Amino acid sequence: MEENTIKKKVMLSGIQPSGDLHLGNYLGAIKNWGVRSEEFDCYYFMADLHTITVRQEPSQLRRRTIEQLAQYIACGLDPEKNTLFIQSHVPEHTQLAWVLECYTMFGELSRMTQFKDKSSKHKDNINCGLFAYPSLMAADILLYQPDYVPVGEDQKQHVEITRNIAERFNGIYGDVFKIPEPYIPKAGARIYGLTTPTDKMSKSVPDGCVFLMDDPDVIARKFKRAVTDSDTENCVRYDKENKPGVANLMNIYSAVTGKTFEEIEKEFEGKGYGVFKPCVGEAVIEALRPIREETNRILADKEYLESVYKDGAERAHRTAFKTLRKVYKKVGFVQP
Ligand code: TRP
């Protein structure tokens, strides 16, 4: 009885279906999301609206969005316990985004690292959506009044600006939005590229990126070719500064096996990288096998997937609608 009356804390996050999900998304984010679904009221979505800030191939976007939903479920996000939805199915996101754009300053958007980055990469398409992206992300978040937003280090600035926008709005209209906290996973879960171990794992460097749907032989090959370090030591030892390649592999191995760095150092004492790399590959293959198989099983059941995203959108809408209604009222729009 007690328990039912205590409101659970709310957690929310999303990933853009602009590329296939990879090991970094899984170990750094989705795997940890599932663990929290008892303790928190969780919303996880496919941020499809965000993807069109850079050009997408429509059929690929559609495929990836559905595949990402199947992968969320296969990674352990139970759609009964988590609200899983597709962003474009909940119109309140774009509706609130417009309002928030009017409370976001040109100057602050100009300073966003991701905007500077992406606009220098896509010089022929520096569109308004790319610029206003943080206001849409703020809407994604603030609609659900979450306590925590689990994001990677690279998205921290976007959560910061969300807080600033929310505080600015609350400062004028009273307490409309809860001020969310970024929730950065422990350093252990940060995964770097296998061929570029100082940059985070990314789909744009496919040789160093292990996709969740990669075949076992592809994964094995990627790990065999993983960059270790140019030191002559050939010794499995955790030293992030001087041996980033080995540290990253140890991190991955630790995340999929649950072994500590000490245990790993012991296990490979005197064995060198030639033994270590394929072992990490094997461990990852075994960790991803059930996820890939389950994803394929779920993908074959179109009706089930449809029921999940319809139900998710319905639930998300019920929460989002309440916030939007309040915002519309506060700014002075006539109630329909
Ligand atoms: N911008 C995030 C990314 O590129 C994705 C995202 C969109 C998001 N809306 C969000 C993440 C809301 C957390 C909360 O990774």
Domain locations along the chain: 9-189+301-331, 206-296
Which of the 8 DSSP states describes residue 89? G
Residue 48 phi, psi dihedral angles, 5° rounding: -70, -35
Contact 331, 325 (CB under 8 A): no
CB 240 within 8 A of CB 197: no
The pLDDT of residue 185 is 67
Bridge partners, 42 (sequence order): 11, 82
pLDDT of residue 2: 45
How remote is the CA of residue 256 from the centroid of ligand 1, in Å?
25
The answer to whether residues 110 and 63 touch, using CB atoms and an 8 Å cutoff, is no
Cβ(228) to ligand 1 under 6 A?
A: no
Distance, CA of 241 to chain centre: 26
Q: For strands 9-15 and 40-46, give the pairing.
A: parallel
- What is the homologous superfamily of the domain 9-189+301-331 according to CATH? HUPs (3.40.50.620)
- pLDDT of res. 7: 85
Strand ranges, E, within 196-313: none
- The residues, ordered by sequence, that sit 6+ positions from 17 with a Cβ below 8 Å of its Cβ are 46, 47, 48, 51, 61, 64, 65, 67, 68
Would the CB of 141 count as within 6 Å of ligand 1? Answer: yes
Beta carbons within 8 Å of 265's beta carbon, 6+ residues apart:
236, 237, 238
CATH topology of domain 206-296: Tyrosyl-Transfer RNA Synthetase (1.10.240)
Q: Are 262 and 236 in contact (CB under 8 A)?
A: no
Q: What does DSSP say about strands 40-46 and 82-86: parallel, antiparallel, or unpaired?
A: parallel
Distance between CA atoms of 235 and 276, rounded to whole angstroms?
Answer: 9
Question: Is the CB of 151 within 6 Å of ligand 1?
Answer: yes
Q: Whose CA is nearest to atom 9 of ligand 1?
A: 137
Which residue type does 77 have? L
Look up 118 and say whether it is catalytic.
Answer: yes
Residue with CA at minimum distance from ligand 1 atom 11: 14
* Closest residue to atom 13 of ligand 1, CA basis: 13
| Residue in the block written with tokens 């059929």 | 59
Contact by Cβ (8 Å): 194, 248: yes
The residue annotated as part of the active site, out of 156, 178, 200, 326, is 200
Helix (H) or strand (E) holding 40: strand 40-46
Q: How confident is the prediction along the chain (336 residues), in pLDDT tens digits per residue? A: 445 557 899 999 999 999 999 999 999 899 988 888 888 999 999 999 999 999 999 999 999 999 999 999 999 999 999 999 999 999 999 999 999 999 999 999 999 999 999 999 989 999 999 999 999 999 999 999 999 999 988 899 999 999 999 999 999 999 999 999 998 766 446 899 999 999 999 999 999 999 999 999 999 999 999 999 877 788 999 999 999 999 999 999 999 999 999 999 999 999 999 999 999 999 999 999 999 999 999 999 999 999 999 999 999 999 999 999 999 999 999 998
Out of 10, 11, 13, mutate this one to test ligand 1's pocket (max ligand atoms within 8 Å of CB): namely 13
What is the structure's pLDDT at 186?
Answer: 63
Given 81, 178, 203, 259, the catalytic residue: 203
The answer to whether the CB of 180 falls within 8 A of the CB of 141 is yes
**In the 8-state DSSP scheme, what is residue 143?**
T
13 CB less than 6 Å from ligand 1?
Answer: yes
Which tokens sit at 83?
């609200």
Is the beta carbon of 112 within 6 A of some atom in ligand 1?
Answer: no
Q: Give the distance (Å) from ligand 1 centre to CA of residue 252.
A: 23
Which amino acid is it at 47? A
Q: What is the pTM of this model?
A: 0.94
CA angle 183, 312, 5 (to 5 degrees): 65
Q: Provide the residue count of the chain.
A: 336
